[in-house]
A and B are shown apart, each in its own frame.
Chain A
């Protein structure tokens, strides 16, 4: 195949970010140790992300493939990448302050995050088993490292190691499934697999390969029963890293799951739908029940994210256009809820030390009224109370589920959302119904205020912009479906 510059143009934002990351390697290596350089690297990374963001939203090229069909640049990819970039930008912005005074003041931090972002964007655009696996690994490896960033903390190292071991296992499962699929379909390209499926009967081993692949990806979205790593990693990682984990990689992995199921395996949706129903129900149940007993807010958020992935998978399980639309609306609300919540969790500090026990929030409404209102809105939204963003996500995923005849799934989902409401309400209770004599620190970083303000605005006014959001997501879904 002749090399043609036009062939790689669709991947320009990724290539640009990769280039920035390479430059940052030099800056990180020669810019000196410590907080100052760490901030410098972060600033450059932020600018890089912003430029990539602008490149993305100004994309007016038609849907196209690059790298010999391994990379798909379409409206769906753009939509999801925008979410990933927004989430990462927020997480990095909020990491700026902790980078200065925590023991994670290493220049490598932002560099690694940027590499992971490139991985996530490639995941979203992956259109081939090869690029899928490469992207997943590019996303995962930097994240293993940043999870263990706090080198003098046992918990952080444990988190990194655990994440690495289980992540490697999931990659193995993914790879094994991919090899089975390749073996029977005879091709690694998603279109080729789809064509092979519609061409004739594939043996049951092909389906097993597909299930392996879905399971491998379920690790990445932390869907139960593949969620074991999530609570420990969330709790053990430095909080800025947890914030990142909670927002961006989930979107990327979910997008990859969508492209794989709708794109490659689109015509046998009845086969994977059952798997996703099972994943969805277990995630919703585990997430809702697991969070109740938690005393650490990061750990609680881990279970909360498991439950949220369960809801999103309920939309995916329907296997329909509306399902894809529902997942996209859900993930859109999810990143803003996640960003807003972590903006507050990052501010939970006492005497300069981060304090992440849930009881530390006691009396927050008196000591920090703005934070309390923000967290209250985020919690109500996560509980799915209208008219906040979380409700509309649930409305669209369950709409798709009911439409696909999965009424029991929807019923389990809404009942579990009531169970979930209990632990979200518990946070509001601590903030509003109780008093404290040991308040949290008063200073509020500008970055967190900004992220919190924007997230609050989006979550509160989600209903107003929903009409145009539906249009955008609808176009993106059409792009996703056109692969079939």
Chain B
């Protein structure tokens, strides 16, 4: 019975049902606010539970698409309603559904005005994110990919910090400019193949010359999303101005859309162009890793520092993907999931202290460990996971990427490893300045201890980071088959994979 349910459709659109409930709430403003929080939390929790069915029902021996759903949409034009997940997209779906209740919990007290609208924006965002990961039709993918901008623009612009308008516009226009170029390429692909079905497109071999243009178009979009240097400048602004939960989702899921796009479109559909442009991607990624790490060192704003560290970490992801080795791609995937958990937790760490002191300046803190010892444990753990301490998920991803990079080019591996050292430097230094030392500010001394709610956000993230760090094959096994399928497809189209060079 349950096997026949359109589980992906349910997971995707369940949050919209929550939106309907939210719209029906009536009463005093305070009542509306409290009920909105509850409804949003329960709906997102329920969505997460339903999405666990994907995990339970997932067949790890099947590298292809599972839970496939297909329905007619635009007649016989080759565009249909097609959903499905494989080992690459399934972890992202779960990441999205997991982070959403946590993000809602994180904004429990921080958001005090227009709570209902806020929760609506987040639930709509969840639908768009999940829909993007499960779409197996290119037009559907694009609809969800772009529609994410609408709720995020509103979230940054309405509930953001002092420069929120600038940040929201920059975020929107930057991403839109990248996406529309991808749109033109999608049109060209649709005309060439006659369908927007992703599996069909992956099996189609485009001419080498056309691949180049298509790759560049898609690259424009995904590079902005990832973001890669030099188009990363929207990210620090967006992160600094976004509310805590917005940053969590932005870093946790939205950045992954770019990496996912590379794996779903660029590599399988444009293998020759991917090979041709791999050195360019490596160069940009290395610059990103080293340059943004140095920039992170110079930051005085905690959130901005973590934002720059995200750019550096995503640099690892793009390196891993374009090594086109099994280790590299698996490492990139692992790094994305790990970064999704860790960066969300780190942004929440900033949120925790920000809620108490209302400043993100590093110099305003110091000695927080003495005041909030429990918080210090979580923060330190997440900081170390971000640095890549063995035993945390961060280590596995970086390690695998470096192995893959070494296979592709030892220079790439060398520079990437340099980034690791710098990463350790800025994170440890941040921790030292915020958490250790004497309490010099009176306000810091008055900071209340951690609430149960905050505890409830940290615990699942910590368990997962630890779990993936200690037992990485639980995640690697899921994606291994699908990654191998991508690589097999590339090898079949005649790309000389770099492994062994």
A411 touches B181 (CB 8 A): yes
In whole angstroms, what is the CA distance A374 to B426 when docked? 46
CA distance A374 to B165 in the complex (A): 21
Point out the residues of chain A lying under 8 angstroms from B165, CB to CB: 429, 433
B interface secondary structure, majority: helix
Residues of B in contact, count (CB < 8 Å): 33
B180 near A417 with CB under 8 A, answer: yes
Q: Once the chains bind, are A411 and B164 in contact (CB under 8 Å)?
A: no
The answer to whether A385 has its CB under 8 Å from any CB of chain B is yes
Chain B residues, CB < 8 A from A387: 143, 147
How many residue pairs, one in A and one in B, have C-beta atoms under 8 Å apart? 82
> Is the CB–CB distance between A433 and B158 below 8 Å?
yes
Q: Which residue of B lies closest to A421 (CB)?
A: B176
What are the residues of chain B within 8 A of A433 when measuring CB–CB?
157-158, 164-165, 168
A386 pairs with B180, CB closer than 8 A? no
Our pick among A395, A415, A422 for the contact of B169 (Cβ within 8 Å) is A422
Q: Which stretch (A128-136, A304-312, A402-410) binds chain B?
A: A402-410
Nearest CB in chain B to that of A402: its residue: B187
Interface residues of A in 394-432 (CB under 8 A from B): 395, 398-399, 402-403, 407, 410-411, 414-415, 417-418, 421-422, 425, 428-429, 432
B74 within 8 Å of A (CB atoms): yes
The reply to whether B169 and A429 contact each other, CB–CB distance below 8 Å, is yes
Which of A84-92, A240-248, A270-278, A466-474 lies at the binding interface?
A: A466-474
Binary interface encoding of chain A residues 444-484 relative to chain B, with 1 for a CB under 8 A from any of its CBs, else 0: 00000000000000000001001100110000000000000
Q: A336 in the interface, Cβ–Cβ < 8 Å?
A: no
Q: How far is the CB of A39 from chain B (nearest CB, A)?
A: 35
Contact with B along A137-151 (1 / 0, CB 8 A): 000000000000000
Q: Are B154 and A467 in contact (CB under 8 A)?
A: no
Quick check: B73 and A402 within 8 Å, CB to CB? no
* A342 adjacent to chain B (CB < 8 Å): no
Total interface residues in chain A, CB < 8 Å: 30
Q: Contact check, B168 vs A410: say whether CB atoms are below 8 A apart.
A: no
- CB of A226 within 8 Å of the partner chain: no
Q: Which of A365, A386, A428, A466 has the most CB of B within 10 A?
A: A386
State in angstroms the CA–CA spacing of A405 and B150 once bound together. 32
Using known A-B contacts A399-B187, A415-B180, A433-B165, determine if residue A467 contacts B172 with beta carbons closer than 8 Å: no
Q: Which residues of A contact B157 (CB under 8 A)?
A: 428-429, 432-433
The residues in B between 168 and 188 inclusive whose CB is less than 8 angstroms from any CB of A are 168-169, 172-173, 176-177, 180-181, 183-184, 187-188
Set of chain A residues within 8 Å of B146, measured between Cβ atoms: 385-386, 391
CB pair B191 A418 closer than 8 Å: no
Q: Mark B152-166, 1 if CB is under 8 A from A, else 0.
A: 011001100000110
Q: Which of A365, A398, A432, A471 contacts B183 (CB 8 A)?
A: A398
User: Nearest residue in B to A471 (C-beta to C-beta)?
Assistant: B75
* A380, B180: Cα distance in complex, Å: 15
A470 to B75 Cα, complex, angstroms: 8
Q: How far is the CA of A385 from the CA of B150 in the complex (A)?
A: 8
**B153 pairs with A425, CB closer than 8 A:** yes
- Listed from nearest, the 9 A-B pairs whose CB atoms lie closest are A414-B180, A386-B143, A402-B187, A387-B143, A433-B157, A418-B177, A386-B146, A403-B191, A467-B74
